Structure 1
């Protein structure tokens, strides 16, 4: 039985599916649920004249607030408690997976429910998926929710 569930969210369809699964799990087990949005300000363009990372950071924090507000509305409808969080990666080597790990350890989470694919498609091609990196370093169970509809059968040959 879980008491504390952490659900990283990023506004993607897969993230929403994973959050819905975390919500059901929290409702059924009476657990607290923490939606977690990670702000990752890209360094691309940091040395370009006129680049102001605070504009990007502010936009990402605003998006995080919006995504978390949607999650809280779902939680209220389902009678699930918990406080959403927004955290930021560090430009000194801290990545999204390690931010999720830090929150999961600090809280501490009994399980992390996350989608297999989020919004970071370009970075995924270069660095590998956040979900894959997190599973490798996680100190608690991780429930991965796949992208797309997995209930459909493959066509017969």
Structure 2
């Protein structure tokens, strides 16, 4: 059973699915979940033209941890920046750093030319990860 779970979230509606899967698996195994929120180097701009700042990234991660701990799961938050939007590599590196035995990701897709060239983040995680199992949730 998985006891060191990395839940990679993006703060979208898909985050709930990733957290639900992490919660159920951690409850069943008594495992710990590390929630990882990644800020792409090309962070999305809001209406005022400001990029997502570190504070809002930490708030997203902390809200996810609060949801998990409310269900009795031990959880920790991490925030990372993805240079060159290489989000998959950041996820795999974080998993290795914590000796994760499971990575949970949602179907984060790049659009346009970036998607055609680099593929989806989840595809990249599956391709790069050599140690931990990878669970893709809808």
Q: Which residue of 1 aligns with 2:30?
A: 30
The whole-number CA distance in structure 1 between the counterparts of 2:127 and 2:118 is: 14
Alignment of 1:87 onto 2:80: yes
Q: Which residue of 2 aligns with 1:144?
A: 136
Superposition CA RMSD, Å: 2.0
**What number of residue pairs does the alignment pair up?**
130
**Following TM superposition, by how much is the alpha carbon of 1:125 offset from its aligned partner in structure 2, in angstroms?**
4.9
Q: Which residue of 2 aligns with 1:114?
A: 105
Paired residues of 1:124 and 1:130 also in contact (CA < 8 A): no
Cα deviation 1:90-140 (Å, max 9, x = unaligned): 34xx7100000110001010000111236x545435531100111001121
Larger Rg: 1 or 2? 1
Partner SS, residue 33 of structure 2:
strand
Paired residues of 1:10 and 1:64 also in contact (CA < 8 A): no
Partner SS, residue 82 of structure 1:
strand
Partner SS, residue 5 of structure 2:
strand
TM-score, with length taken from structure 1: 0.74
Mean alpha-carbon deviation: is it higher for 8-17 or for 28-37? 8-17
Moved over 6 A (4+): none
Mean alpha-carbon deviation: is it higher for 70-79 or for 120-129? 120-129
The whole-number CA distance in structure 1 between the counterparts of 2:54 and 2:22 is: 23
Q: Which residue of 2 aligns with 1:5?
A: 5
Q: Which residue of 2 aligns with 1:51?
A: none
Alignment of 1:67 onto 2:60: yes
Paired residues of 2:69 and 2:75 also in contact (CA < 8 A): no
Greater strand fraction, Structure 1 or Structure 2:
2
